[in-house]
């Protein structure tokens, strides 16, 4: 089994070119909207499962193998 096949069996989807690496958000409180916003990616800190997951996974959460699945589960999938 090569790396790409191994990845697919582990995560259930094809290997993407970019690889996920944890990079912590840097939240800044914006009083104008009364919420914290990540200064790198613009993630708004909301109280829902998907956001909490994204916060844990850091700024590159959109590259995480579970990203699409998480988005679907929490109703954020377009
Ligand atoms: Zn961020």
Write the pLDDT tens digit of every residue in 18-53.
Answer: 788 999 999 999 999 999 999 998 899 998 889 999
CA dist list (Å): 7 to 13, 48, 78:
8, 29, 25
Q: Residues whose CB is under 5 A from ligand 1 (ion)? A: 25, 38, 40-41, 43, 59
Q: 54 CA distance to ligand 1 centroid (A)? A: 8
* Residues in Cβ contact with 52 at an 8 Å cutoff, skipping those fewer than 6 apart: none
CA of 3 to the centre of ligand 1 (A): 29
Cα 1 to averaged position of ligand 1 atoms, centre (Å): 35
User: pLDDT grade, residue 76 (50/70/90)?
Assistant: low
pLDDT (0 to 100) of residue 78: 53
In the chain, where do the E strands start and end? Answer: 27-30, 35-38
């Amino acid at each position: 089994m090569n790396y790409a096949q191994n990845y697919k069996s582990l995560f259930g989807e094809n290997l993407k070119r970019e690889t996920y690496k944890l990079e912590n958000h840097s939240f800044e409180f914006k009083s104008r909207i009364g919420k914290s916003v990540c200064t790198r990616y613009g993630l708004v800190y909301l109280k829902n499962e998907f956001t909490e997951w994204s916060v844990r996974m850091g700024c590159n959460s959109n590259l995480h193998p579970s990203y699409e699945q998480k988005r679907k589960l929490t109703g954020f999938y377009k």
